[in-house]
């Protein structure tokens, strides 16, 4: 959180939820979300009992019929903690969803930039992705802060060791925010640093953390273009621990505390649990709970009080896995999911252990597939889990989901 108190709507939201007793507030908000879901579906259908049933135990006909129906009041927020939504340039639908449901989000992060090494210096690439017209529309129609994502692709060892390069990186980012009128950035670097072994060396890890702190402090020293009393923000992307015990390269409670003053939010990537070689659910509930416990429920530190800064990752995409001996398959987004439902008319099954819906089908080559894709029920469970901790959420990514998912936010 920025050191200076601000009067902006985005910062007001963060300040307000920080001051509320988490557990009591969470219980009230969970009840509010459930009531909102029931009312929305009663409005849509003549039979209220069947509408609630469809919400939590859908079949393929329900989804095909209802997925594009959303509440007439698309501006009302049910989720009171911060909501960050990612938008990718290769999926234009996300840009439209950001405009339609602008008021549902506190932060919007278009995936536009990469910071790369260029001989002995650095270059920030991606301005050609930026859509100034879209940004202008968003600022006129809502109060969500615009924080483009920047992936740190520069050679990690050189960047963290050399003060000149660290300062150059920060200058490039801050200058871009000023020139483009952004409200800050979302920075992604941890997974690359882990892959290059930076985080296993205590000295290098400390330098890496100091770079993030320095960037956050630099952003906090700049006023936002839209509100002079609001500082630029930094959201930092963190991966989930790789096992039930923290490993050397994992982002843990100590790292969270180290960066807590310089970073406004931590985008936690609690998805991609499974893959084509290990087919299964995208983000099992038990795994999500373990990840949050490792980060926030550690005795002897103040990590738990930092829960409002955690933005629990929720996937709006799914996976279509081939169950053949060769394995295979990959991500599936909303339109592909609806096409499969229409073609195969499958029976949806609820996996109680993971808290996800899935179905099986056989393709034209007689290969069996398993499809895991979010549902209203699975998303609701994850929202309730985040609320019980007092966390915000981060969505990857809003162009990949179904329209009625936004009624839950």
- CA 232, chain centre distance (Å): 19
The pLDDT of residue 327: 75
The token pair at 300 is 């002897």
Q: Which of 10, 31, 141 is nearest to 81 (CA)?
A: 10
Residue 1: is its pLDDT beyond 80? no
Close Cβ partners of 161 (under 8 Å, ≥ 6 residues apart):
204, 207
Residue 212, φ and ψ in degrees, nearest 5: -60, -45
Residue 42: is its pLDDT beyond 90? no
Mean pLDDT of all residues in 85-99: 97
The pLDDT of residue 16: 31
Separation CA 290–CA 199 (nearest Å)? 22
Bridging pattern class, strands 107-118 and 121-125: antiparallel
Q: Per-residue pLDDT tens for 291-336?
A: 999 999 765 556 678 999 999 999 999 999 999 878 789 999 999 9
Task: Choose between 58 and 38: higher pLDDT.
Answer: 58
Q: Per-residue pLDDT tens for 118-162?
A: 999 999 999 999 999 999 999 998 999 999 999 999 999 999 999
pLDDT band of 181, cuts 50, 70, 90: very high
Mean pLDDT of all residues in 17-43: 44
Residue with tokens 């908000």: 29
Close Cβ partners of 335 (under 8 Å, ≥ 6 residues apart):
none
Find the largest Cα–Cα distance for the chain.
67
Mean pLDDT of all residues in 68-90: 92
The token pair at 131 is 């859509």
Mean pLDDT of all residues in 60-68: 96
Residues 62 and 11 sit within 8 Å (Cβ to Cβ): no
pLDDT band of 4, cuts 50, 70, 90: very low
Q: Per-residue pLDDT tens for 356-405?
A: 999 999 999 999 999 999 999 999 999 999 999 999 999 999 999 999 99
Rg (the chain; Cα; Å):
21
- CA 318, chain centre distance (Å): 15
Separation CA 391–CA 79 (nearest Å)? 10
What percent of the chain stands above pLDDT 90? 77
């Amino acid at each position: 959180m920025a050191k200076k108190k601000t009067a902006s709507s985005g910062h007001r939201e963060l300040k307000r939820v920080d001051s509320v007793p988490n557990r009591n507030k969470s219980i009230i908000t969970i009840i509010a979300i459930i009531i909102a879901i029931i009312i929305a579906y009663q409005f849509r259908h003549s039979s209220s009992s069947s509408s609630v049933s469809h919400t939590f135990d859908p079949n393929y006909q329900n989804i095909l019929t209802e997925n594009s129906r959303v509440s007439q009041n698309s501006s009302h927020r049910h989720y009171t903690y911060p909501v960050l939504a990612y938008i990718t340039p290769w999926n234009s639908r996300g840009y439209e969803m950001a405009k339609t449901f602008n008021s549902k989000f506190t932060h919007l992060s278009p995936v536009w930039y990469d910071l790369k090494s260029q001989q002995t210096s650095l270059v920030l690439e991606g301005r050609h992705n930026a859509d100034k017209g879209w940004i202008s529309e968003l600022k006129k129609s809502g109060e969500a802060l615009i924080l483009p994502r920047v992936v740190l692709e520069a050679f990690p060892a050189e960047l963290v060791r050399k003060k000149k390069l660290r300062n150059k990186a920060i200058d490039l980012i801050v200058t871009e925010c000023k020139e483009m009128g952004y409200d800050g950035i979302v920075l992604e670097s941890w997974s690359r640093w882990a892959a290059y072994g930076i985080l296993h060396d205590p000295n290098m890890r400390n330098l890496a953390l100091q770079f993030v702190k320095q960037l956050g402090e630099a952003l906090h020293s700049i006023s936002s273009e839209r509100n002079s009393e609001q500082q630029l923000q930094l959201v930092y992307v963190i991966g989930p621990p790789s096992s039930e015990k923290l490993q050397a390269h994992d982002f843990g409670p100590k790292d969270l505390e180290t960066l807590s003053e310089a970073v406004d939010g931590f985008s936690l990537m609690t998805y991609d649990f499974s893959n084509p070689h290990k087919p299964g659910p995208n983000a099992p509930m038990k795994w999500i709970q373990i990840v949050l416990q490792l980060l926030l429920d550690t005795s002897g530190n103040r990590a738990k009080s930092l829960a409002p800064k955690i933005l629990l990752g929720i996937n709006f995409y799914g996976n279509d896995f081939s169950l053949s001996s060769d394995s295979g398959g990959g991500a599936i987004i909303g339109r592909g999911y609806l096409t499969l439902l229409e073609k195969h008319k499958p029976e949806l099954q609820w996996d109680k252990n993971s808290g996800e819906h899935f179905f099986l089908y056989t393709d034209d080559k007689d290969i069996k597939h398993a499809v895991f894709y979010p549902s209203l029920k699975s998303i609701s469970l994850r929202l309730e889990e985040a609320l019980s901790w007092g966390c915000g959420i981060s969505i990857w990514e809003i162009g990949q989901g179904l329209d009625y998912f936004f009624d839950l936010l």
